[in-house]
Amino acid sequence: MDGYGTAGGGPRFTVDVRWSGRTAVVAVAGELDHDHAEPLRAAISEALERGAERIVVDCGRLAFCDSTGLNILLRGRLEAREAGSSVELAALGPTVARMFDITGAKAVFTVYPELPEDLADGERP
């Protein structure tokens, strides 16, 4: 599940998954929009299939997120809840945080100002 990305002249959006115990840390980078949302959906789904008790999306390198990206995260949150898991967010930059604030979506996620220290290092599958 390591290194999801987009095709073409260099990735505009990448997803990298590592594990810390039963927690999947999904690090996203670049621009999460309609054309590049599938790798995130796939990463969340695979983490749930592998039995993640918790999924933390590290947004520290996420420059942009549109409504498609937001919907992927919201759907992932619902799927996780049905599976007895959770989707949490960390390190929202100002642009992305504003979109979450404006839409009210921030209220439904646990949001950390930065990636929790105990999750900073993990194992790749």
Instruction: Please write the tens of the pLDDT for every residue from 68-112.
Output: 999 999 999 999 999 999 999 999 999 999 999 999 999 999 999
Smallest CA-to-CA distance from 30 within 14, 7, 9, 50 is with 14
Whole-prediction pTM: 0.89
d(CA 116, CA 24): 13
**H-assigned helices in 1-125:** 38-49, 67-82, 94-103
d(CA 25, CA 47): 9
d(CA 73, CA 12): 18
Confidence of residue 120 (pLDDT cuts 50, 70, 90): confident
Task: For 9-57, write each residue's pLDDT tens digit.
Answer: 456 899 999 999 999 999 999 999 999 999 999 999 999 999 999 999 9
Q: Quote the pLDDT of residue 121.
A: 72
CB contact burial 66-81 (16+ within 10 A = b; e otherwise) = eebbbebbbebbebbe
**H or E element, residue 30:** strand 23-32
